[in-house]
Structure 1
Amino acid sequence: MQVEVWSDIMCPFCYIGKRNYEAALAQFGDKDNVEITWKSFQLNPDIPKEGEPGAGEHGNVYQYVADMKGMSYEQSVKMHETVVQTAQRAGLEYNFDKAKITNSFKAHRLIQKAKSLGLGDAAEERLFYANFTEGLDYGTDAVLYQLGKEIGLTTEQVAEALTDDEYALAVSDDIREARQIGVNGVPFFVFDRKYAISGAQPPELFLQTLEKAFGEI
């Protein structure tokens, strides 16, 4: 059974959704017959990339979200505190004080390269952790070379990911496909192109959907 997941590294609920899905999969009797494919999505493609005017000038996460949602700084802090608690329940440690606001396109290029080598899930995990726990700037080449090596890629393979048009096109194709099937937010899980789950839903819902989709094979 194929599970496709549209996700963005800058989305805190995508990491939580990943953990909740994994918790469900661990309880699923036929988990060895389930294959996951990570798909690229960008919540805000307009954030300047490294080297472009305005890159690195978005301030901290609290101010960025306050500006995006039209709320006060204090309201943004409280909202993020709730997200931290939700992450803790999923077994994750979020440090929004350290998180960076950066364009995720290059990170998605790296994930696409990792996918081609059977390391897509490892790439997603390492990049999420780098962002939400370590506060690394995953939009910079230096950090992506470091993370790529940790994932298992060679320096040459990371260079290919960041420069070869093939991987930029793969990112764009995923985003276009998301629009075609009506994906407006992430995480978005699709089970054998029959059932879908939007958002970081509880493990129980993921397990029910796995069982339902697998039962129809």
Structure 2
Amino acid sequence: MKIDIWSDIACPFCYIGKRKLEMALSRFPHKENVELVWHSYELDPRLPKQALQESIYTYFARKYSMTEEEARENMDNTARLAKEVDLNYDFDKLIVANTSDALRLVKLAKEYGLATEAEEILFKSYFVEGKNISDLVVLSDLGSKIGLKESEIKEMLNSDKYLAEIKQDIEYSENELQLEYIPFYVFNNKQIVQGSIAVENYLKVLHEAYSEWSTNGASDQKGETISGQSCSIDGVCS
């Protein structure tokens, strides 16, 4: 059974949601029959390739017309939620960066069955370790650590490869699935989850979707939508 996931490396709830889904899968008896299929959704493609020389608090305040104190409070709340699933977000170290090349690295990793590993190392590098995930040297190193060939990573990063696929991911999610928030999950082509939800709720959706898949195969109907903590397509995370 497939779970299609739209996410961006810069979405804090995408990493939290990933961890919660993994916790649910660890308790799911049929996890070996579940495939995670990663798709791209770039929250702020207007960011320059060169990382910003300002904090996430300044960037967030400037972009969404709030004070830096309000932005810091927002990030502190998010960090507390991350801590609940043992993720140690460090927004003080975070480098605001364009995620296009990081998303392309996930696309390359996907060709080798390593997309989930790529998502994990990129999320951790961005939210926990304060690395510049728009830096090509950093991306090459991260890709090598999960088993990709350095020469192939560099060739891809110095080309336009996967840019069209990322655009297609975004257009399909918005036009066909009416995506408004990420993380965005489609279980067995039917049940939709917008946002990070409780582990028990992921588990409930897993059981329902798997039961239908094992009986009838992949669904061709759109099901109900469950909402959770998320980032909107204009980048507001709450």
TM-score category of the 2 structures, normalised to the smaller one: over 0.9
Q: Distance in 2 between matches of 1:147 and 1:166?
A: 18
The Cα shift of 1:169 comes to 1.9
The answer (yes or no) to whether the contact 1:43–1:185 under 8 Å persists in 2 is: no
**1:135 counterpart residue number:** 130
Q: Distance in 2 between matches of 1:117 and 1:82?
A: 36
**1:194 counterpart residue number:** 190
What CA deviation, in whole Å up to 9, does each residue of 1:70-109 have, x standing for no partner?
2111111111111111000011010000101111000011
Q: Distance in 2 between matches of 1:157 and 1:164?
A: 11
Note the 1:155-170 alignment, pairs <5 A: 155-170=150-165
The Cα shift of 1:58 comes to 5.2
Unaligned segments of structure 1, at least 5 residues: 50-54
The answer (yes or no) to whether the contact 1:58–1:64 under 8 Å persists in 2 is: no
Question: Identity, % of aligned pairs?
Answer: 37
The Cα shift of 1:136 comes to 0.3
Q: Distance in 2 between matches of 1:24 and 1:70?
A: 37
**1:119 counterpart residue number:** 114
- Calculate the TM-score normalised by the size of structure 2: 0.86
The Cα shift of 1:116 comes to 0.4
Kindly indicate whether structure 1 or structure 2 has the higher relative contact order, using CA contacts under 8 Å at least 6 residues apart.
1
SS of residue matched to 1:169: helix
What CA deviation, in whole Å up to 9, does each residue of 1:190-214 have, x standing for no partner?
1011101011111111111011111
The Cα RMSD (Å) is: 1.1
- Calculate the TM-score normalised by the size of structure 1: 0.94
The Cα shift of 1:166 comes to 3.6
Consecutive aligned runs of 4 or more in structure 1 exceeding 3 Å deviation: 163-166
The answer (yes or no) to whether the contact 2:117–2:146 under 8 Å persists in 1 is: yes
Unaligned segments of structure 2, at least 5 residues: 214-238
**1:94 counterpart residue number:** 89
Number of aligned pairs? Answer: 212
SS of residue matched to 1:28: coil
